[in-house]
């Protein structure tokens, strides 16, 4: 099997950390692993590992990198953000006719795009924040008052996101978001408990126990809060939420996973409002994946160890591939 790590997005380093964790946890008796490091400039390079013979369907665009991979039967794309989590790499893997972990092309592209994602969820009767999408050059309109969230449509790790408190901050926020994407969102502020839940499976997905995100020393769950030591606290299960509300979070997370046609894994980020209403913020098809990432911790609390999680994901990838290989096109 092959692990794809790094990639062109600003989450490159996070992806490398996730890949290192995965490598450590995979049983060397069961898996023959090669790592493909994708550089910030997009070049693919075959890292150390064993078994490099031939799988010429995987293009390796680096001039001096080996043009073939080993006899790869499963690919684990541990790539966050654009050019990895957004359906592009998944398309390549479909063309290569190889099993791969996680959401397929359409689900990856849909969940990467916070604007399209919200539209599909609304259509399915799942609550999401109200938002407007702007294209570069559009007049800035904020119908929601302040504070308001401004986001690039397709990124992650809170990169390019601002909580704007007034008109001046809004103008700066819009400029910043447009540095990262041609499309941005202005989104109503939701005052609630931030809760994340893991989902695992293909046809019969299951939810983990939800966990509460508590930013420490940060107003919201921004980049620094996510990655600085002590920047956040994960509380599993969330405090002050009823059993009923937690069951709602799990049910709605699975619904979001199903209506967006996800497979394998996802981390669903939600807000629980004061009256117990669950609002889905976003769905990450390749969530941070170190052994201490939120996704792993949520499943650990649910009774699925990290290495077992990996085994299950690999089985799910193979199951999908086998299922689909029987289709006539």
Ligand X SMILES: Nc1ncnc2c1ncn2[C@@H]1O[C@H](COP(=O)(O)OP(=O)(O)OP(=O)(O)O)[C@@H](O)[C@H]1O
CA pseudo-torsion sign 125, 152, 44, 28:
negative
Residues between 264 and 283 with contacts to ligand X, criterion CB under 6 A: 269, 281-282
**Least separation in angstroms between CB 152 and ligand X:** 8
| Helix (H/G/I), strand (E/B), else coil: 179 | helix
Binder to ligand X among 178, 221, 257, 289 (CB under 6 A)? 221
Query: Among residues 188 and 319, whose Cβ is nearest to ligand X?
Result: 188
Binder to ligand X among 79, 161, 249, 314 (CB under 6 A)? 161
Q: Does 181 bind Mg ion (CB under 5 A)?
A: no
Binder to ligand X among 52, 158, 202, 307 (CB under 6 A)? 158
Residues between 222 and 281 with contacts to Mg ion, criterion CB under 5 A: 269
The residue among 297, 315, 127, 111 whose CA lies nearest residue 196 is 297
What would the two tokens of residue 271 be? Answer: 């807000």
Residues between 111 and 130 with contacts to ligand X, criterion CB under 6 A: 129
The residue among 228, 280, 274 whose CA lies nearest residue 258 is 280
Query: Among residues 90 and 284, whose Cβ is nearest to ligand X?
Result: 284
Among all chains, which residue has been given the structure tokens 């695992």? 200
Q: Does 144 bind ligand X (CB under 6 A)?
A: no
The three state secondary structure string of 194-239 is: EEEEEEEECCCCEECCCEEEEECCCCCCCHHHHHCCCCEEEECCCC
**Least separation in angstroms between CB 171 and Mg ion:** 24
Q: Centre a 10 Å sphere on the Cβ of residue 220 and count the other Cβ atoms it contains.
A: 15
- In terms of Cβ atoms closer than 10 Å to its own Cβ (0-12, 13-18, 19+), residue 216 is exposed
Residues taking part in catalysis:
11, 157, 227, 267, 269, 282, 284, 288
Q: Does 78 bind ligand X (CB under 6 A)?
A: no
Query: Among residues 44 and 289, whose Cβ is nearest to Mg ion?
Result: 289
Binder to ligand X among 190, 232, 278, 304 (CB under 6 A)? 190
Nearest-angstrom CA–CA distance, 142 and 214 = 28
Query: Among residues 75 and 161, whose Cβ is nearest to ligand X?
Result: 161
Q: Where does this chain bind Mg ion (CB under 5 A)?
A: 269
Q: Where does this chain bind ligand X (CB under 6 A)?
A: 129, 149, 151, 155-158, 161, 187-190, 194, 220-221, 269, 281-282, 284
């Amino acid at each position: 099997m092959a692990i794809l790590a790094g990639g062109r997005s600003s989450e490159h380093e996070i992806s490398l950390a996730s890949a290192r964790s995965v490598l450590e946890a995979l049983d060397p008796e069961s898996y023959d692993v090669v790592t493909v490091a994708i550089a910030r400039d997009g070049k693919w390079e075959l890292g150390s590992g064993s078994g490099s013979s031939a799988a010429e369907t995987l293009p390796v665009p680096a001039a001096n990198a080996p043009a073939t991979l080993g006899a790869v039967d499963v690919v684990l794309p541990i790539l966050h953000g654009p050019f990895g989590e957004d359906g592009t790499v998944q398309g390549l893997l479909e063309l290569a006719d190889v099993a791969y972990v996680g959401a397929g092309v359409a689900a990856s592209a849909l969940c990467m795009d916070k604007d399209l994602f919200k539209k599909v969820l609304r259509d399915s009767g799942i609550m999401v924040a109200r938002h407007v999408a702007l294209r570069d050059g559009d007049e800035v309109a904020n119908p929601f008052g302040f504070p308001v969230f401004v986001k690039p449509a397709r990124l992650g790790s809170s990169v390019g996101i601002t909580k704007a408190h007034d008109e001046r901050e809004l103008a700066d926020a819009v400029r910043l978001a447009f540095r990262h994407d041609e499309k941005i969102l202005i989104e109503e502020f939701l005052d609630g408990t931030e809760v994340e839940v893991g989902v695992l499976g293909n046809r019969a997905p299951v939810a983990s126990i939800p966990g509460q995100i508590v930013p420490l020393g940060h107003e919201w769950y921004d980049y620094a809060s996510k990655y600085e030591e002590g920047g956040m606290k994960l509380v599993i299960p969330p405090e002050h939420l009823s059993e009923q509300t937690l069951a709602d979070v799990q049910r709605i997370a699975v619904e979001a996973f199903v209506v967006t046609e996800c497979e394998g894994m996802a981390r669903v980020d939600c807000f629980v409002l004061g009256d117990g209403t669950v609002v889905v913020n976003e769905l990450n098809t390749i969530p941070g994946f170190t052994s201490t990432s939120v996704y792993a911790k949520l499943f650990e609390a649910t009774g699925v160890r990290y290495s077992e999680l990996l085994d299950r994901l690999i089985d799910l990838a193979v199951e999908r591939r086998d299922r689909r290989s029987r289709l006539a096109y």
